[in-house]
A = this chain, B = another copy of it.
């Protein structure tokens, strides 16, 4: 609005040198006399000069920005994951463009379209939505987390099968006879479903019938509660629940109270994720912990490699069980 912003030219004029010289001082490149440097710096100071990052980006054809596309940030797992990603990216000189898809394919698509317009140097995605064609026909470097995007996008995932195995085995070891599992609806294909496979395999091996209730990540919490109440109504005999995330485990623990079930006496519960926030608020919850920070570091390292033009393979990271007391 007010006065036009100061540009390189203005600094050059003020210092009585050429644009090139100012640019060199700015980037500390090439040979310059101490005197000139000082002169230019004085001019910059005097005019309170701020280089225009956009102009530089245009020339350099890189923005040092990485887009993050995840369902939301308002969740213990994704909050910690995105925080770790931001941190690691910052260490490597990248800033973060954040996009929450919120189970809204239109939003995800619009977001993606814009980012593909040379706004970012790379993308890290973990959105739940149906993989969109856009992801396929771009050669922007992409890495995904716990999500299958397309054939040419490497994935960082934790060992979901083993996580499901550890959780189910714990409940079996506790002597549970009626173990129920909660997971996403089947039509959303994610590595997450390996957890369910492990649960089903183990239950069958032990002569029990696997029963899975579907709770969509993006459901409003009241709907989630309703589904969980349904579990207790449909299966009063339930004595063990393996929840596919800690938030659901928390809901289950509360609703168990409504049904007068004591945990762990009447009902054992194992959660999944083991994010900081849930560990703090629900330390009593036994859960399968994903190596969230390590997943973030790995994803960033892989993205960096892709940006450098290298090929990288998908990676699987180990999980572990955290003993709380609920199972």
A: residues with CB less than 8 A from B are 1-2, 5, 48, 50-55, 57-58, 63, 65, 68, 72-76, 79-80, 82-84, 86-87, 90, 95-100, 102, 107, 111, 114, 116-119, 137, 139, 221, 247, 250-251, 254, 276-278, 280-283, 309
Contacts and interface: CB of A to CB of B under 8 A. Distances in A.
Contacts of A65: 97
Contacts of A221: 276, 280
A50 B87 contact: no
The 7 closest A-B pairs by CB, nearest first: A74-B83, A53-B117, A79-B79, A250-B281, A98-B98, A281-B281, A74-B79
Contacts of A282: 281
Contacts of A111: 90, 95
B117 A276 contact: no
Given A52-B118, A281-B282, A86 B98 contact: yes
A100 B74 contact: no
A280 B251 contact: yes
B86 A75 contact: no
Contact of A48 (B79, B137, B247): B137
Nearest to A76: B277
A111 B64 CA distance: 13
Contact of A97 (B57, B96, B251, B277): B96
Given A53-B118, A95-B111, A278-B281, 18 more contacts: A52-B117, A52-B118, A53-B114, A73-B73, A74-B80, A74-B84, A74-B276, A86-B98, A86-B100, A90-B99, A95-B97, A95-B99, A98-B98, A221-B276, A247-B281, A250-B280, A254-B283, A281-B281
Contacts of A53: 114, 117-119
Contact of A119 (B5, B54, B87, B251): B54
A159 to B, nearest CB: 23
A83 B90 contact: no
Contact of A58 (B1, B55, B76): B55
Given A100-B87, A281-B278, A309 B54 contact: no
Contacts of A68: 98
Contacts of A99: 86, 90, 95-96
Nearest to A249: B281
Query: Which among A2, A68, A119 has the greatest number of chain B C-beta atoms within 10 A?
Result: A119
Given A98-B96, A111-B95, A54 B281 contact: no
Contacts of A114: 53, 95
Contacts of A52: 58, 117-118
B139 A54 contact: no
10 contacts: A2-B139, A51-B117, A52-B117, A55-B58, A73-B86, A87-B100, A90-B107, A95-B97, A95-B98, A98-B98
A219 B230 CA distance: 41
B116 A50 contact: yes
> Which residue among A50, A74, A76 has the maximum number of chain B CB atoms within 10 Å of its CB?
A74
